[in-house]
Amino acid sequence: MKQWTGISEFVAVAEQQSFTKAAKQLGISVAQVSRNIAELEQQLAIKLLYRTTRNVKLTEEGALYLQHCRHLVSSLAEANRTLANLKATPRGLIKLTAPVFYGETRLAPLLHNFLKLYPDTELDLQLSNNKLDLIQGGFDLAIRLGTLESSSLIARKLASRTQYVVASPAYLAAYGTPDTIAELAQHQCLTGTVVQWRFMQQGKIQQFKPQGRITCNSGVALLDAALKGLGLVQLPDYYVKDQLQSGELVAVLNELRQPDDGIWAIYPQNRHLSAKVRVLVDFLAAELG
């Protein structure tokens, strides 16, 4: 490790333009900073710094060397933080936002289990079907469903979800079962916030604009309407799984189902995740996946 001697000191002095400030930043003496940089210059056989009584300036070679050394020091610091974080126990407040129904039925129980595993953590869970601004709202994490919009946030896929078009047996007995996307136009379609229903036909995404007597921004309300025989609805699996298993609802056009989309953990673009967020994301990925 002899070749590392003086590199951290050199970067600190170059950035601070002061031996005294660099020593304070590194927590060592000015004399030690000076000795280590001198040893580095001797090893390289190149002068890196011009020293005067008032200031410090980089030589031409020093400026070039600094560009490379900054990456080395930054990578080493990141490696040290990563190893330290492996041993860190999650603690502190986690502020998280998620859609209402998914948050209530799937996410909240898992978060409560997480709190039991890690007693030093606290939870602020904000359920909203609006996509809240993570930075402005001070959120550590958001759970988002479906296709993601382009953004500067980091996304990790936790699980997949399947979209079903379903209806009650009574509705299908009364009005028939659609066999093609075009036949949906002859049916009552229960519509929500999604303007187009998506299908996969012959390897291509096909869209259909549903129309019917009921429009509502609540998946729970649309599910109730479907159970009462008022029409067809397209909903994710976590809304209709139990009803499909019990036979209260029947899935149609299964062979034309769109490809599964994602359930995502979204968080601000930091160089280094805190232990509490990293462990929580790993926990959710394991439980939901």
Q: What's the confidence (pLDDT) of residue 270?
A: 63
Q: Report angle CA 74, 55, 65 to the nearest 5 degrees.
A: 35
Question: Are the C-beta atoms of 90 and 120 separated by less than 8 Å?
Answer: yes
Q: Are 241 and 161 in contact (CB under 8 A)?
A: no
Given a contact cutoff of 8 angstroms between Cβ atoms, the answer to whether 151 and 120 are in contact is: no
Q: Which pair of tokens denotes residue 183?
A: 């036949």
Question: For position 76, what pLDDT does the model report?
Answer: 82
How many other β-carbons are positioned within 10 Å of the β-carbon of residue 263?
25
pLDDT in tens, the chain (289 residues): 456 788 999 999 998 989 999 899 889 999 999 999 999 999 899 999 988 767 889 999 989 999 988 888 888 877 777 766 666 778 889 999 999 999 999 999 999 999 999 999 999 999 998 888 888 888 999 999 988 876 778 889 999 999 999 999 999 999 999 999 999 999 999 999 888 999 999 989 999 999 999 999 999 999 999 999 999 999 999 999 999 999 999 999 999 999 999 999 998 876 457 888 989 999 999 999 8
Distance CA 207, CA 276 (A): 41
Residue 130 DSSP SS3: coil
Three-point CA angle 121, 283, 139, nearest 5°: 55
182-219 pLDDT tens trace: 999 999 999 998 889 999 999 899 999 999 999 999 99
In this predicted structure, what is the pLDDT of residue 283? Answer: 95
CB 266 within 8 A of CB 144: yes
Tell whether the torsion through CA atoms of 25, 31, 36 and 40 is positive or negative.
Answer: positive
Max CA distance (Å), the chain: 94
Residues paired with 38 in a beta bridge: none
Quick one: pLDDT at residue 1?
Answer: 46
Q: What is the pLDDT at residue 52?
A: 76
Task: Take residue 233 and report the two structure tokens written for it.
Answer: 């609805």
Residue 160 near residue 288, CB atoms below 8 Å:
no
- Of 15, 12, 36, which Cα lies nearest the Cα of 24? 12
